[in-house]
Structure 1
């Protein structure tokens, strides 16, 4: 990290501390849309096998309770919410217990297994982004009934996070012979980019102005990806990472186009690819020693239902692992990813 980058982060951190010290969150609310990287329990309420509401998921979370988060503990958004001054995390919208005043501080609409393509969500019964947007519209009506005239300032001042695309490739394109026959990976990326652009425009029309668009991580470095597609190699799968990088590059075009088309929008691209890739390729720099397998079970294939309390071989100390299961990062890795998220969010606030 260069001196200028260190200085910027230090200034941002100091600003956060001073604002939070005044007892108010830096933004009035947080809203989250996307997949398992953001889901905090919406899938608990769905007829789907893509859930994480059972041990050992959540074993290092508050009170050691599995909440539906796909990790042993906190997600990056949890760390961000704490830093931004919230006393509780944006709750899963489908959790009926969170209705009422809790909605004043935002909501989480993300659903594990979701993608920019509605077809991706249909494969495992998750909530499509279009449906997540419908839930957000429903939320706005509830917010108006609670907050009255203050609802508009909450909506316009809130921080919006969008994180999807991984499942479109991992659970759809890469394993769907028909899609691969119809489209090249570049053409499929273009289709997803179109869906992403439309989603942002629709969110903007509903009042969103501060948006963080999260890139796809290095999917070829997931232990499950190496096991299935790595041809007996222990290295990241290059062609999968190339697909992710190609898609991420196109996200930058979305950012430029949106600034031209949508007056007043403040949109930043959060690059999670490079940070996670660095953790995998230079683990000792971050205090990790295991990157080829996740902590849960053997760590090479276990995820979702296969990662359970009977999984043999689950590690005792997940903080030394980059991955919790064969796809999702540990809390320790998520804390590092959160630093980038916090900096991106702060750039939209100042």
Structure 2
């Protein structure tokens, strides 16, 4: 245990002011560390038991990933869209220092999640040439940067809406059956983990810049529309065989560097109205997910909280070894993302691990690693 403000028993907790806040914060960090260690221990024991039984395979047969730029690993490379990241300095800290189409300097949180589950390679982007043959046994990534629960968000940027991502998944299932047969394909489809990360683009890249939306709907009304689309998506995924689904909440969208720059009204603080919208969405996401679990027999649906861990990193970057949370690493750090974040962008940092954000919208690899650790704790039931 620490020798910080909580030392000497529980007396400090009862004090008023800064000491109390520091103590409670330290207790929360220690609790989080313990929860993560417990989750890692559980996964380690499961992997160890499988090795003893002569099975060195991952804890689940495959991974299937749907959503937006937070989990896109290269599908947008194959589209006529401005929402791309298959050029330097993207990918400079990834394997072989090569840009892949990930909106990051290195690995995504979903990449680390795969590693935690025992995978030694990543599910290929469904539009890539790698998405064929035995590679499909690992699963596939259907995500597309600039997409969302709201169908027209993807249309604005010519990316892949969730409805079409599901269409590609149906085609994937047919290919899988031809490779390994129906019974084996069913085992993979029902036993694998499905990750869904969507909704941020609906707000940041559509609602708040689109008068056809923000003049018609309040943020809460728009959230209700998105939640209905989310519910339909999960029901369809379930109908297609998915039984273990992890869906991430919205992050604190008002704290993204680009959000503060574009909507912060000359303040360096998080944009409160945007975070409030995310909090309402997340509340409805949790309630709707509980309803879906009660309605759909055998569904293990887990909400993965990304909001609070990322908000904590942003508010207290130094506690986690970061130097900067307001600005991103790429360019000025104020707004650059996608084509605006390029090798000619002046001011790009040398060490992205000191920054919570890589570009104006997306976390750095270092932040993704910490976020993946939290997702591991939240999602442990998906592999039990």
Q: Normalization by structure 2: what TM-score?
A: 0.89
1:143 aligns with 176
Structure 1 SS opposite 2:130: helix
2:316 corresponds, among 253, 257, 282, to 282
1:221 correspondence with 2:293: no
8 Å Cα contact 1:212-1:344 kept in structure 2: no
2:147 corresponds, among 90, 114, 117, to 114
Structure 2 SS opposite 1:224: helix
Structure 2 SS opposite 1:97: coil
1:207 corresponds, among 241, 246, 256, to 241
1:15 aligns with 42
2:222 corresponds, among 182, 188, 191, to 188
8 Å Cα contact 1:291-1:323 kept in structure 2: yes
Post-superposition shift, 1:2? 6.7
Q: How many residues align?
A: 350
1:55 corresponds, among 88, 95, 115, to 88
| Structure 1 residues not aligned, in runs of 5+ | none
2:212 corresponds, among 165, 178, 183, to 178
1:90 correspondence with 2:123: yes
Q: 1:99 to 1:186 in 2, by over 3 A?
A: same
1:128 correspondence with 2:161: yes
Q: Normalization by structure 1: what TM-score?
A: 0.98
8 Å Cα contact 1:159-1:345 kept in structure 2: no
Cα distance in 2 for partners of 1:173, 1:6 equals 37
Any idea what the Cα deviations from partners look like across 1:301-323, whole Å, max 9, x if unmatched?
11100100001110000101001
Cα distance in 2 for partners of 1:344, 1:150 equals 29
Cα distance in 1 for partners of 2:38, 2:316 equals 27
8 Å Cα contact 1:19-1:25 kept in structure 2: no
| Structure 2 residues not aligned, in runs of 5+ | 1-27
1:268 correspondence with 2:295: no
Post-superposition shift, 1:6? 4.4
Cα distance in 1 for partners of 2:355, 2:37 equals 27
Alignment RMSD: 1.2
Q: 1:88 to 1:321 in 2, by over 3 A?
A: same
Post-superposition shift, 1:105? 1.1
Structure 1 SS opposite 2:379: helix
Cα distance in 2 for partners of 1:89, 1:340 equals 20
Cα distance in 2 for partners of 1:319, 1:145 equals 43
2:65 aligns with 32
Any idea what the Cα deviations from partners look like across 1:232-279, whole Å, max 9, x if unmatched?
111101001000111011001111111121000001111100011111
Cα distance in 2 for partners of 1:325, 1:7 equals 31
2:335 aligns with 301
